[in-house]
Amino acid sequence: MKKTFYILLSFFTLASCSNANSEENKKEKFIDSLLSKMTLEEKAGQMNQYNGFWDATGPMPEGDYQKKRYKELKNGQVGSMLNVIGVDQIRALQKIAVEETRLGIPLIFGHDVIHGYKTMFPIPLAESSSWDLELMEKSARIAATEASADGLHWTFAPMVDISRDARWGRVMEGAGEDPYLGSKIAVARINGFQGQDLKDSLTIAACAKHFAAYGFAESGKDYNTVDIGLQTLHNIVLPSFKASAKANVATFMNSFNEINGIPATGSKFLQRSILKEKWNYKGFIVSDWSSIEEMVAHGYSKDLKSAALSAIKAGSDMDMMSYAYIKYLNNLLDEKKISIDIIDDAVKRILSVKYDLGLFSNPYLYCNDVREEENIFNDRNRALALDIAQESIVLLKNDANILPLKKSGLKIALLGGLAIDKDSPLGNWRAKAPKNSAISVKEGLIKYNNNTVKFQKGPKLFKNPTFIDGHLNVNNTDTSGTYSALKLAKESDYVITVLGEHGLQSGEGRSRSNIKLPGIQEHFLKEIYKVNKNIVLIIMNGRPLDLSWADAHIPAIVESWHLGTMSGNALASILYGDCNPSGKLPMSFPRSIGQVPIYYNHKNTGRPGPSDYVFWSHYSDEKNDPLYPFGFGLSYTNFEYSNLELSKADERTINVKFKVKNIGNHSGKEVVQLYVRDLYSSQTRPVKELKRFRKVQFQIDEEKIFNFVLKKNDLGFLNDSGNLVFEKGEYEIFVGGSSKTNISSF
C-alpha cells in the first residue's frame, strides 16, 4: 500500500535575538579597555601561535631559532602555544606571559586531545559506531578533565569532517559519512569538552575542524584538492560545522585543502560570509599548521606576505606556525592593505575565548598539581573507556551463531601480532597515552581461562625498522612464522585471529590506495582457513577495509577499530557474550577499492537499474552496493520492525510510529534508525537520508513503540545559498536497523 504525504509550502523566519547580559557587558568592557592599551605588535602577537620550542623548566633556550621565539614571547608577540605538555611546563611559560610581558596577557595552550588524553577512548570513528551520544559526551568530558588537569585549555577537536573515502587516513578522526549523525556527534563532543561553563577548570575549549571540506580530498589523498558543488557543500559538508557553531564551540580551525580553486585558509566565502556573517559565529578561527604559508605552494599567494593578507582578509584569526601575521601584519597595515578594524576583530575574538576560560581572573587556573594526580588515568575513567569500547564494536558477520564462544572446554588458537599488541589499540592522535598502555586481546581473553588459549604470532606485520620517515615498513614477503601458527590452528577447536592496521597506519598523512589487510595478512588468513574453518576474525583498523574475501569465507568477523586503553577487555566480553554487540557502522565498507567513494545517501541517477542490459549505472565487474552498509551491525539477538504508521500532525509535520521487538534469545541494544527519501524536488535528493535514531536496550521478547516527529527541516534541503527549501511533495519513510532497510511507507 502506498502512503503519500503532501506537504504545503510555507515560509517563516526565525528571529534570533541576542541580548547581551551584564556578564557580557563586563567582558566587552574589559576586552575593549585591554585592546585600547595594545600596540599593533602586541595585537599581532595575540594572533600568533607557536609550537613548544624549549624545555621551559630548564635553562634559557639555546640556538638562534629558540632565542628568537623566546624574545618574542617576552615581548608579548605570542598569544598561544601548542604541544606544550604538563602543568610545570605550562606554568613556567604562562609565568613569562603574565609576569614579563608589558600587558601580562595569558597564553592559551592547545593540544590535539582527540580521543582521550591519557586514558584512551576508542578512536573517534570507532566511538561513532556506538551511536551513543551520551557516552561520547562523557568520554570527551573525561578527556577534558584529564587534559585540563595537566594544564591545557584547549583541544583541537572534534574533527567534524564528513568523509566518504576510506583511502583518506583521517577518517579515523571523524564521525563517518553522514551529516545528520555527524552533527549530533559533533555537538555531543563539544558539550563534553566544554561543559556548561568554560571557566570550570575541568572543561576545555573545543575546536570544530577542518573548515571546510577537508574530508573530500580528491582520491582520498591527504591535503589534496577539493572540488565539490554547492549542493554537497551545503547539505553534506557544512551541517556538522553549523551544528558546532550553534553549540557554541569556542573555536574553529580552517583546513589545508583548497576548495573550488581557493585555499580554505584564504576563503572569505567560507570564513567570513558563511561562518562569521551568516551563522553569526563569535569565536575565533585558528589556521591549520602552516596553512597560511601553504597558500604559496597552492599557487594562490605570491609570497608569505600576500598569504598573510589573504588569510586575515578571509577571517583567519590566529596563525598556527606560519609566522605570517607576526612578520607582516605591521607592513600590511602601513601599506593600508588592511584596516586596524580587521585586526581588532580577530584580537577581540581571541581575548574573548581567553576571558571565557577564566584566564584573566586566574592564568594558572588549570595548573594545579593535585588535580593532575587525582584526575588522570583513574579507575572511573577506565571504566567509561571500557563501556564505550564495548559499545563501539561492530559485529559484521556471525554465521551459524559461532559467537558468542563457550566459556569453558575449548581449545583456542589466538593468532596474529595484533593480538598481543598493547600499542596499536591506542590508535593515532594518542595525546599523552603511555606507550603500550592498552589491554591487548590476549590479556583480555586470559580472564576467561576455563578455555585453553594458546598464542602464535604468525608472519610479521612489519619489517625492521618498523618505521622509516614516519612510514610503516610493511612486510609484504616474509612468511616465516606461518608454519607454527597453522600447526596450532589445526590442533584447536577455534581460531581467533587479530588482523588489520597498526595504530599509526591511519591518521594524518596516512592515505592508502589499497585498503585490503596490509602486507601478507590476507594470504595468512587464507592459509589458516585451509586448516581450520572455525575462525573468528577480529579486525583492528582506523578506516573501512576491503574485507570481501573474509566475508565470503570466514564465519565470524568482529570490527574492533582501535578501541583504546580497554581494548582487550572489551573484545573478550563481546566474544564470550558477557556483552552483546550493538555497534553500527558510521561508514560504508566497500567491496573493493574501485567502489570508493561509496556512501549510502547517494543519488538515484537517471539509470538506477538494475537491468539485464548494459546501459545502466553500474560496474561490469563489481556490484553497486557496499559489502557492509552505513548503519549496519549485527547482534546476538534479532529485532523485528513492524506496524509502520504515518500521520500528519499539521502541514509541516509527520508523525512516524512503529514497533520494534526483540525476537531472539539474548537481551541487547538496537540502534533504531529512520530514513527519509524526498521522491522528487527542484534539486535531486539522495535515495535515503538518516533523520532520526535512538539506541535502546531490549530484554528478550520485549517490544517497544517508537514515535518520531519529522519537521520541515527534516524534509527540506539547503539550496545553493545555504537556505532551507521546503517543497510540497512526496516522501518515503524507512525504519530499520541499518541504511539497507526496506521497511518503508510504500
Q: Are 179 and 240 in contact (CB under 8 A)?
A: yes
Among residues 508 and 578, whose Cβ is nearest to ligand NOJ?
A: 508
Query: Distance between CA 424 and CA 442 in Å, rounded?
Result: 13
* Cβ neighbours of residue 647 closer than 8 Å, sequence gap 6 or more: 654, 655, 657
Report 216-275 residues binding ligand NOJ (CB under 6 A). Answer: none
Closest to ligand NOJ by CB, 48 vs 440, is 48
Residue nearest to ligand NOJ (CB): 156
Catalytic residue among 161, 288, 356, 421: 288
372 close to 149: Cβ distance less than 8 angstroms: yes
- Residue 266 DSSP label: G
By DSSP bridging, strand 108-111 and strand 319-320 are unpaired
Q: By CB under 6 A, tell whether 293 contacts ligand NOJ.
A: no
Secondary structure letter of residue 276 according to DSSP: I
Q: Which is nearer to ligand NOJ, 286 or 445 (CB)?
A: 286
- Applying CB under 6 A, what is the total number of residues that bind ligand NOJ? 7
Q: Which is nearer to ligand NOJ, 90 or 627 (CB)?
A: 90
- The letter for the amino acid at 338 is I
Cβ atoms of 139 and 384 closer than 8 Å: yes
Strand ranges, E, within 601-688: 639-650, 653-662, 668-678
Q: Which candidate, 607, 604, 545, 536, places its Cα nearest to that of 574?
A: 536
Cβ 428 to ligand NOJ shortest distance, Å: 11
Site membership for ligand NOJ, residue 156 (CB under 6 A): yes
- CA separation, residue 155 to residues 124, 138, 414, 591, 682 (Å): 14, 16, 38, 36, 41
Are 164 and 598 in contact by the 8 Å Cβ rule? The answer is yes
Q: Taking CB under 6 A as the criterion, which residues in 78-117 touch ligand NOJ? A: 82, 112
Which residues, 6 or more positions from 241, have their beta carbon under 8 angstroms from its beta carbon?
160, 186, 208, 211, 212, 252, 275
Per CB under 6 A, 423 contacts ligand NOJ: no
φ and ψ of 374, to 5 deg: -75, -35
Q: How many CA atoms lie within 13 A of 162 on its CB side?
A: 23
C-alpha to C-alpha distance for 570 and 13, rounded to whole angstroms: 48
Q: Taking CB under 6 A as the rule, does residue 508 contact ligand NOJ? A: yes
Instruction: List Cα–Cα distances, 338 to 185, 310, 559, in angstroms.
Output: 38, 10, 52
Measured from the CB atom, the residue of 289 and 377 that comes closer to ligand NOJ is 289
53 binds ligand NOJ per the rule CB under 6 A: no
**Residue of 596, 707, 605, 566 whose CA lies nearest to 171:** 596
> Residue 289, interface with ligand NOJ (CB under 6 A)?
yes
Question: Grid coordinates representing 556?
Answer: 565470524
CB nearer ligand NOJ, residue 131 or residue 289? 289
Residue 263 in 3-state DSSP? Answer: strand
Residues 339-398 close enough to bind ligand NOJ by CB under 6 A: none
Give which of 149, 158, 151 is closest to 113, Cα–Cα: 158
Give me the least distance between CB of 320 and ligand NOJ, in Å please.
Answer: 7
- Does 288 contact ligand NOJ by CB under 6 A? yes
In angstroms, the CA 310 to CA 291 distance is 12
Evaluate whether 583 touches 391 at the Cβ level (below 8 Å): yes
Rounded least distance, CB 321 to ligand NOJ, Å? 8
| Residue 88: φ, ψ to 5° | -65, -45
- Tell me how far apart the alpha carbons of residues 132 and 586 are, in angstroms, rounded to a whole number: 12
Shortest gap between Cβ of 192 and ligand NOJ (angstroms)?
A: 18
The identity of residue 213, as a single letter, is: A
Spatial neighbors of 160 by CB under 8 A, at least 6 apart, are 174, 175, 182, 183, 185, 186, 208, 209, 240, 241, 243, 244
User: Which helix (H) or strand (E) element contains residue 315?
Assistant: none
Closest CA to 577 of 349, 422, 405, 708: 405
Q: Provide the angle, in degrees to the nearest 10, between the axes of the packed helices 133-149 and 179-194.
A: 40
Measured in whole angstroms, how far is the alpha carbon of residue 728 from the centre of its chain? 35
In this complex, which beta carbon is closest to ligand NOJ, that of residue 82 or of residue 367? 82
Would you count residue 693 as binding ligand NOJ (CB under 6 A)?
no
- Least CB distance from residue 506 to ligand NOJ, whole Å? 14
- Based on the shown chain and the rule CB under 6 A, indicate whether residue 319 belongs to the binding site for ligand NOJ: no
CB 448 within 8 A of CB 414: no
Cβ-based nearer residue to ligand NOJ, 112 or 293 = 112
Q: Which is nearer to ligand NOJ, 289 or 494 (CB)?
A: 289
Report the residue number, 443 or 508, with the smaller CB distance to ligand NOJ: 508
What is the Cα gyration radius of the chain? 27
Q: Segment 163-222, which members bind ligand NOJ (CB under 6 A)? A: 209
Work out how close the CB of 519 gets to ligand NOJ at its nearest, in angstroms, rounded to a whole number: 27
Residue 650 catalytic?
no
Instruction: Count CB-CB contacts under 10 A for residue 501.
Output: 30
Q: What is the DSSP string of 441-460?
A: HHHHHHTSTTSEEEEE--S-
What minimum distance in Å lies between the beta carbon of 423 and ligand NOJ?
Answer: 20
Between 156 and 193, CB nearer to ligand NOJ:
156
Partners of 48 in the β-ladder: 319
Q: Which residues are catalytic?
A: 288
Residues that bind ligand NOJ (CB under 6 A): 82, 112, 156, 209, 288-289, 508
